Structure 1
Amino acid sequence: MTNSESRPLLQWSAAMALSGTIGAVVLASGAAAPAVAFARCLVGGLLLVVWCLARGWFRGWRPPRRDIVTAVLGGLLLVGNWVLLFASYALSSISVSTVVYHTQPLILVGLAAVFLGEKVSRSHLARAGVAFAGVVVIALSAHADDGQPVRFAGIALALAAAVLYAGASMVAKQLKHMRPHLLAAVQLVTGTVVLAPALAFTPLPHSVPGLLWLVLLGAVHTAVLYVLMYASIGKLPTTTVALLSYLYPVVAVIVDVLAFGHRLSWLEALGMLAVLAAALAPRRGGAPAAVSRVPGRCGTRTPSRRS
C-alpha cells in the first residue's frame, strides 16, 4: 500500500477512534448536555471558520438563499441530535447510548421511504427487526456505570437522537454540491446561536478542568475530526468507510469498560452485536450498506448511509 493510499485510511481510522472517546469527554466535563453542545459548536465552529478562511474557501462563495436555509435546518437537527445523545449518556452509559444510536442507518432508510418514496426491501425490514430486537434486549438487560439498570429514558433519548441525525443526513443529501467544511461551519454557527440562550439554565462549568474538557471537545473532537474525515472520505471505497466506521462504537464500549468500569452482561453484549450486525449487514448485491453522514455526533457526511 502506497503512502497516498494509506494516509486516508489512517486519517479515517483516527477520526473514528476519536469519535469513540466523545462520550468520555462529555461526562468528564461535568456540564449539562445543552452547554456541552454549545461549547462544541462555538469552539469547533470558530476553528472551522478559521480553517475555511485560511484555505480561501469563503472567497467568492455566494450560496443561494435556499441552500443557506436548508443548511440551517440541517444544523438545527444536528444540534438537537447532539443534545439528546449527550443527555442519554448520563441516563444509561456511553456504550449503551452509542450502540443504540447506531440504529441511525436503518432509521434513515425508513425516513427516506416515508418522505422520499424510496422502496424498502425485505432485507432492510429484517435487519431493522433484528436491530430493534437488540435494542429491546439492551433495555431489559443492560446496567449503567453505577450498576443500576439503565433507564429507559436514556435509551429513548439515544433513539430520538438517531432519528434527528437521520433527518440531518437527509437534509445533507440536498446539499451534496456544497463543500462539506463550509456546510459544517454554517451548521456549527447555527448551533452556537440557537443554544446560547440555554446557558441561562444550563451554564458552562465553573471549574477550569471542566472548561478545558469542553475546549478539547470543540477543538479536537470537532474541528480536527472534521478535517481528518473530509480529507480522507472521498479517497476511500464506500465499503471501507462503512467498515471502519464501526471503530466508533467499538472504541466507545472499550472506553466505557476501562474508564468507567462498565461491565457487559452476556445479554447486553448479545443485544449490542445484534444492533451493529444489522446495521452493517450487506444489502442485496453483496456490499455492506454505505455510510451517509452529516457533520454530526462526530460529524461527517458520505455518499449514502451513515453508520
Structure 2
Amino acid sequence: MTNSETRPLLQWSAAMAMSGTIGAVVLESGAAAPAVAFARCFVGGALLVIWCFARGWLPAWRPSKRDLGLAVLGGLFLVGNWVLLFASYALSSISVSTVVYHTQPLILVGLAAAFLGEKVAKSHLVRAAIAFGGVALISLSAHGEDGKPVQLAGIGLALGAAVLYAGASFVAKQLKHVRPHLLAAVQTTVGALVLAPLLLVTPLPTNPQGLLWLVLLGTVHTALMYVLMYASIGKLPTTTVALLSYLYPVVAVLVDIAFYGHRPTWPEALGMLAVLAAALSPQRGGQSKGNAKVSRATDPCGTRTPARRS
C-alpha cells in the first residue's frame, strides 16, 4: 500500500473511531442535550468557518437563495438529530442508541424513493426488515447500567434522530455542487443560532471539567473529524469506506462496555448485529469496480461528501 493510499485510510479510520467516542464525551460533560448540541455547533462551527476562510472557500461562495434555504433546512435537521441522539444516551445506553441510530441509511433510501422517485430494490426491503427486526429485538432485551430494561423512550429518540439525520442527508443530496466544508459551516452556525435561546432553560455546565468536555466535542469530534472525513472519503474505494464505517458503532459498544459497565444480553447482541449488517452493508450495483472512488456519498455527520477536488 502506497503512502497516498495509507493516509486517507488512516484519516477515515480515525474519524470513525472519534465518532464512536462521542457518546462518552456527551455523558461526561454532564450537560443537557440542547446545551451539548449548542456547544458542538458553536465551537465546531466557528472552527469550520475559520478553516473555510483560510482556504478561501467562504469568501468565494455566492449561494443562491435556494441553496441557502436548503442549507438552513439541512442545518435544522442536523442539529435536531444531535439533540435527540444525545438525549437518548441517558435513557438507554451509548451502544444501544448508536446501533439503533444506524438505521438511518435505510430511512434515507425510503425518503429518496418517496420524494425523488428512486426505485427501491428488493434487497433493500429485506435489509430494512432485518434492521428493524433487530431494533425490536434490542428493545425487548437490552438493559442499562443498572440491570433494568432500557427505556423505550431512549430507543424512540435514537430512531427519531435517525429520521432527522436521514432528512439532513436527503437535503444535502440537493446540494451536491456545494463544497461540504461550507455546508457544514453553515449548518453548525444555524444550529448555534437556533439553540442559543434554549440555554436559558438548559444552561451550559458551570464547572470547568464539563466545559472542557464540550470544547473537546467541538474541536476534536466536530471540526477535526469533519476535516479528516472530507480529506479522505473521496480517495477511498466504496467498499473500504463501508467496511471502516463499522468502527463507529463497534467503538461505541466497546466504550460502553469498558467504561459504563454495559453488558449486552445475547438477544441484544444478536439485534445489534442484525442492525449493523443490514444498515452498513454496501449496496450492490452502481460502482462495481473495487477501486471506484466515493463521489456522492453521505458521511456520518449527515452531509454529502464529493470526490476529491483540486
Shorter-chain-normalised TM-score: which range?
Answer: over 0.9
Cα deviations by residue, 1:30-63 (Å, 9 ceiling, x for unpaired): 0000000000000000111111111111232211
The alignment's C-alpha RMSD in Å is: 1.8
Pairwise mapping of residues 85-104 of structure 1 onto structure 2 (< 5 A)?
A: 85-104=85-104
For the 8 Å contact 2:180–2:306, the answer to whether it is kept is no
- Whether contact under 8 Å (1:74, 1:171) holds in the other structure is yes
Q: What is the letter of the counterpart of residue 275 of structure 1? A: V
Alignment match, 1:239:
239
Does structure 2 retain, via aligned residues, the 8 Å contact 1:169–1:292? no
What pairs up with 1:16-27 in 2 under 5 angstroms?
16-27=16-27
In the alignment, what sits opposite 1:214?
Answer: 214
Q: Is the 8 A contact 1:93 1:256 kept in 2?
A: yes
Q: Name the CA distance, whole Å, in 1 between partners of 2:268 and 2:49.
A: 41
Query: Mind listing any 5+ residue stretches in structure 1 that lack a counterpart?
Result: none
Question: Per-residue deviation at 1:281?
Answer: 3.4
Report whether the alignment pairs 1:35 with 2:35: yes
Map of 1:152 onto structure 2: 152
Q: What SS does structure 2 have at the residue aligned with 1:58?
A: helix
Q: What is the distance in 2 between the residues matched to 1:166 and 1:303? A: 18
Cα deviation for residue 147 of structure 1 reads 1.8
Query: Identity of paired residues, percent?
Result: 77
Partner of 2:133: 133
**Aligned residues between the structures:** 301
Structure 2 residue 191 is matched with structure 1 residue 199? no
Distance 1:122 1:40 in 2: 38
SS at match of 1:233: helix
Q: For the Cα contact (< 8 Å) 2:40–2:218, is it kept in 1?
A: yes
Structure 1 residue 66 displacement after superposition: 1.1
Query: Mean alpha-carbon deviation: is it higher for 278-287 or for 185-194?
Result: 278-287
Corresponding residue of 1:301: 304
CA distance, structure 2, for counterparts of residue 90 and residue 152 of structure 1: 12
The 1:48/1:221 distance shift into structure 2, 3 A limit, reads: same
**Alpha-carbon separation, structure 2, partners of 1:15 and 1:113:** 30
Match for 1:21: what amino acid? T
Structure 2 SS opposite 1:59: helix
Whichever residue aligns with residue 14 of structure 2, its letter is A
* Contact 1:34–1:83, Cα closer than 8 Å, also in 2: yes
* 1:131-189 deviation per Cα after TM superposition (whole angstroms, max 9, x unaligned): 11100000000001222110000000000100011011010011111111111000000
Indicate whether 1:161 and 2:164 are aligned.
no
Three-state SS of the structure 1 residue aligned to 2:145 is coil
* TM-score of the aligned structures, taking structure 2 as reference length: 0.93
Paired residues of 1:172 and 1:294 also in contact (CA < 8 A):
no
Residues 75, 191 of structure 1: 8 Å contact kept: yes
Q: Report how far residue 285 of structure 1 moved.
A: 4.2
Q: Could you say what secondary structure the match of 1:166 adopts?
A: helix
Structure 2: state its 5+ residue gaps.
none
Q: Distance in 2 between matches of 1:25 and 1:265?
A: 25
Aligned residues of 1:168 and 1:294 also touching (Cα < 8 A): no
Match of 2:54 in 1: 54
Distance in 1, matches of 2:285 and 2:54, equals 43
Instruction: Say if 2:183 and 2:303, in contact at 8 Å, map to a contact too.
Output: no
2:109 corresponds to which residue? 109
One-letter amino acid of the counterpart of residue 8, structure 1: P
Question: Is contact 2:102-2:275 (8 Å) kept?
Answer: yes
1:269 is aligned to 269
TM-score, scaled relative to structure 1: 0.94
Report the more deviating stretch, 66-75 or 53-62: 53-62
Q: Is the 8 A contact 2:141 2:149 kept in 1?
A: yes
Indicate conservation of the 8 Å contact 1:78/1:295, yes or no. Answer: no
Quick one: distance in 1 between partners of 2:300 and 2:271? 27
In 2, Cα distance between equivalents of 1:196 and 1:293: 27
- CA 1:282–1:238 in 2, change beyond 3 Å: closer, same or farther? closer
Aligned to 1:75: 75
SS in 2 for 1:203: coil
Once residues 217 and 17 of structure 1 are traced to their aligned partners in structure 2, the CA distance between those partners, rounded to angstroms, is 14
- Confirm or deny: 8 A CA contact 2:180 2:305 kept in the other structure: no
